[in-house]
Amino acid sequence: MFSKILGKKKNYSSDENKVHDELVQKISKMNLTDMKSFINSNEVNEDVLIEIVKKLLIVDEKTSKRYIEIDDMDSKIKKGFDLILSILNHKKISVVAVELVQKFIDLYSDVLIKYDTENKDIYASRLKDASGVAIKNINTKTEVSKRIRTVN
């Protein structure tokens, strides 16, 4: 139960490994809009959220480019930040996903600052607030599962 909440690494069987690889392959072909609609679908679990954030964190080794760059169109940047907010507000978020989002905020801090100042927006504080809420939700899930175990 706690491994599910904490998002600990699972030992996949061969069938589960195939499903996980298919999931990673499917997400690798998606754009920001597709990922956002995929998150809103019913087939989402903590692995999907983790893999989407991992995709956004990848830096191309050859060109040293991130998924979202500071000179990208404002609409792409906004979609990326909205996607992260959706992940943080998702009910199946895990500790691993929150940690990856923290890395995302660190990696894209320059983009956040530039976007917020140019567009008079507050994504930096919204992301930090949503991270705090996600952590509180995870703590609540942990407390409830402890109480259920105690009752049983």
Q: Using the 8-state DSSP alphabet, how is residue 108 labeled?
A: T
pLDDT, one tens digit per residue, over 52-89 is 999 999 998 899 899 999 999 999 999 999 999 999 99
pTM: 0.85
| Residue 128 tokens, joined | 């930090």
pLDDT, one tens digit per residue, over 9-68 is 555 556 778 888 888 999 989 999 999 999 988 778 899 999 999 999 999 889 989 999
* pLDDT of 125 over the 90 cut: yes
Say if CB 57 and CB 105 are below 8 A apart: no
What is the chain's alpha carbon radius of gyration, rounded to the nearest angstrom?
A: 17
pLDDT of residue 41: 83
| DSSP SS3 for 21 | helix
